[in-house]
Structure 1
Amino acid sequence: MDCKICLQKYKGNIRKLTPRMLTKCGHTMCESCIRKQTRNQRIVCPYDRKVTEVRNGVDQLPKNYAVLEMMEESKTGNGGVEEDVKDSGDDDEEEDSEDSEDSEEDSEDSEDSEDSEDSENSDISSDESSDSDDSVTRRDVRIPGFTMDCKICLRKYNVTVPNRTPRILTKCGHTMCHYCIQQQTDDEKITVLPEIFPKTMRFLK
């Protein structure tokens, strides 16, 4: 599966090619493309123009585990054959360089870009530019031509059946079917993730 911006294949073992999700809208891009499009700790989604705050760094955005799982399943289906690229130190150095350049560029452009950004963001409603409860909003996951199962109920995802539609938890990047999310939901928020995700068992809010 490729990043729709740079058209490079996602690689879970290479930081700059890791699929990461914009928490405001649920769209996915590789980490490198997100870094390049981040300005003043914000990124405007190229698909729907919604603004995601990136205050703690791009690497803190949730990975899209549905994409990673799909790639792993595809690799298994091909007998374990996949074109792997080793995660070398060069990649980390390149990313560190990008971070430094982005930081300098943000500092230099911050004043000049305020007016243009205000103009750009005038078309974005206040609820779209805020980063509050939307961080746990459930989003659709559309993966045409590939069959996957919900890891909670073990039923196959089916976007034509509302309860079987896969949804992403934008706080952590994991995916469950709509029905299982409803079963885990209390007062319009998921309080504790199921034990199948032990590393992310925590209150989301």
Structure 2
Amino acid sequence: MSITGILLAAGRGTRFDPSGQRNKLLQCPEGQQASVVAASARHMLAVLPRVVAVLRPGADAETLSAQLLALGCEVTICPQADTGMAASLAHALTYAGKDAQGFIIALGDMPDVQPSTIQSLKTALEQGAGIAAPMYRGRRGNPVGFSRHYLPQLLALEGDQGARGILKHAPVTELEVDDSGILQDVDTPADLHPKDKV
């Protein structure tokens, strides 16, 4: 079964730096040598043979693209990224979706998600789950796996809500994982320091 990874890395990141000078995806978390986006991508590539990363146009696209291509991702630029996450997601799915039987949709600012979690999602999709989501101590996190059955609904999303609406109204296979990284994103500069994470 062909499962494709989708790495959403097209946000503006204004909470991290309102001026737009520092792209959070290019920062290295304390104690790490890889950037936020490189770590996020590497963990997906450890499990999935194909990962498509979607970026926004702009000054950092070239640097981000170079890092992701060097790791083995495919990269596509979404011209409508500013209209919200749904546009970036639809762009990446349209780019990637011809042959995939399922998708694992991850966020580029979540570098602590473990490959074992991604493997669990992949296995659940291969075993027939329509939607699979990881749980850590009773809390649902990211990434989320979708079978191809949900592709039309994913492509129809609008705005900045991502796939939350689909998750509210469809059956979800919840997978308990020992991975707090499914709840941790880099939203502010403090998130680059592990001691400050919840």
TM-score range (shorter-chain normalised) is under 0.3
Choose between structure 1 and 2 for higher RCO, CA contacts under 8 A separated by at least 6 residues: 2
Which structure has the larger Rg over C-alpha atoms? Answer: 1
Relative to the length of structure 1, the TM-score reads 0.25
In proportion to residue count, which structure has more strand?
A: 2
- Please give the TM-score of this superposition, normalised by the length of structure 2: 0.26
